């Protein structure tokens, strides 16, 4: 596969010049190409916002739904056809705010999907309100005296709930981000990648320079199987580590545990239609 295989030249990209979403789109296409994931075998579920526009700029299948609802749709898509590569993609407000409850329970279920969260610490689509990850002191048109609450920490929450893959990247560290995207996409189970990116229009604090000065890569030899160490690193607030914080393998996925696949491993769409069973099901529903 080539990066160009995922291009949509017929679509105008509606992001502000300099938006970090451009880099995320480039990173994702590079990772998909290096893994040779065919566009026909990929589905990206998203909600509403600037980040959820990303799959519309890719040559692939897209499910676009309500704000915060990408994860349950992605879980259902993977359950219906485990042979697909499934991504849930959205922003920090979309995924951690409006979709926060789905975030928690998707971790519990451990579906085999990749969760890409564009984290610019602000609501970009709705003109600059504070998001769950906005930092104290951040002034917005609504938070006129500045944010006074501590930001939501998705990595520490995910590790506390024993998510099977937890990582953070910065769009300015391209090669590391591509490598971590590839690791997440090939991980068997739920994989969270929190993506630090600037919003050049509505967040003048957390800029490219700010992220460069406030991030550092996890050291070589860091043990990502040590959950307690991962939790401690995730709680660092002044300097933000980049890398794979926590990874565990061998855990059963949501779809592996579904009764529908215990005897027959074929996706549901590949199974012969048993007309009698279908008619009985329809009749039972009518009698309810």
Q: What is the pLDDT of residue 276?
A: 86
Cα–Cα distance measured from residue 25 to residue 6, given in angstroms and rounded to the nearest whole number: 10
Instruction: Determine which of 94-98, 123-127, 206-210, 241-245 has the lowest per-residue pLDDT on average.
Output: 123-127
In this structure, what are the phi and psi dihedrals at residue 88, rounded to the nearest 5 degrees? -110, 130
Beta bridge partners of 197: none
Across the range 248-253, mean pLDDT stands at 96
Q: Which tens digits make up the pLDDT trace of 114-157?
A: 999 999 999 988 888 999 999 999 998 889 999 999 999 999 99
Q: Which tens digits make up the pLDDT trace of 24-49?
A: 999 999 999 999 999 999 999 999 88
212, two tokens: 């460069």
Go through the domains of the chain in sequence order and give each one's CATH number. 3-253 (3.40.50.970)
Q: How far is CA 19 from the centre of its chain?
A: 18
Q: What is the CA radius of gyration of the chain?
A: 20
Cα–Cα distance measured from residue 187 to residue 207, given in angstroms and rounded to the nearest whole number: 31
Percent of the chain with pLDDT over 70: 100
Beta bridge partners of 118: 91, 195
pLDDT at 271 over 90: no
Cα–Cα distance measured from residue 241 to residue 168, given in angstroms and rounded to the nearest whole number: 7
Q: What is the pLDDT of residue 22?
A: 97
- Quick one: which of 190, 154, 173, 188 has its CA closest to 24? 173
Cα–Cα distance measured from residue 229 to residue 48, given in angstroms and rounded to the nearest whole number: 35
166, two tokens: 């937890």
- Quick one: which of 207, 18, 33, 194 has its CA closest to 118? 194
Q: Which tens digits make up the pLDDT trace of 97-118?
A: 999 999 999 999 999 999 999 9
Counting Cβ atoms within 10 Å, is residue 188 exposed (0-12), middle (13-18) or buried (19+)? middle
pLDDT at 288 over 80: no
Place of tokens 């849930």: 88
Across the range 218-228, mean pLDDT stands at 96
């Amino acid at each position: 596969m080539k990066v160009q295989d995922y291009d949509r030249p017929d679509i105008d990209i509606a992001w502000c010049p300099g938006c970090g979403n451009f880099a995320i789109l480039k990173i994702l296409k590079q990772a998909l190409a290096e893994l040779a994931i065919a566009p026909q075998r990929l589905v990206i579920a998203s909600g509403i916002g600037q980040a959820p526009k990303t799959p519309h700029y890719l040559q692939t299948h897209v499910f676009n739904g309500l704000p915060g609802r990408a994860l349950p749709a992605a879980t259902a898509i993977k359950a219906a056809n485990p042979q697909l590569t499934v991504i849930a993609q959205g922003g920090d407000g979309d995924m951690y705010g409006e979709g926060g409850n789905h975030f928690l329970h998707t971790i519990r279920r451990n579906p085999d999907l990749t969760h890409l969260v564009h984290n610019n610490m602000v609501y970009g689509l709705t003109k600059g309100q504070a998001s769950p990850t906005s930092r104290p002191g951040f002034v917005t048109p609504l938070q006129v005296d500045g944010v006074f609450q501590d930001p939501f920490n998705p990595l520490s929450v995910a590790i506390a709930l024993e998510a099977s893959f937890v990582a953070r990247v910065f769009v300015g560290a391209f090669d590391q981000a591509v490598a971590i995207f590839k690791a997440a996409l090939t991980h068997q189970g739920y994989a969270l990648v929190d993506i630090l990116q600037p919003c050049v229009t509505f967040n003048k604090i957390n800029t490219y320079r700010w992220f460069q000065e406030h991030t550092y890569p996890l050291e070589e030899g860091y043990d990502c199987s040590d959950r307690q160490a991962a939790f401690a690193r995730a709680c660092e607030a002044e300097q933000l580590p980049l890398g794979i914080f926590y990874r565990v393998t061998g855990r059963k996925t949501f779809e592996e545990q579904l009764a529908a696949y215990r005897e027959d491993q074929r996706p549901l769409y590949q199974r012969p239609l048993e007309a009698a069973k279908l008619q009985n099901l329809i009749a039972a529903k009518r009698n309810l």
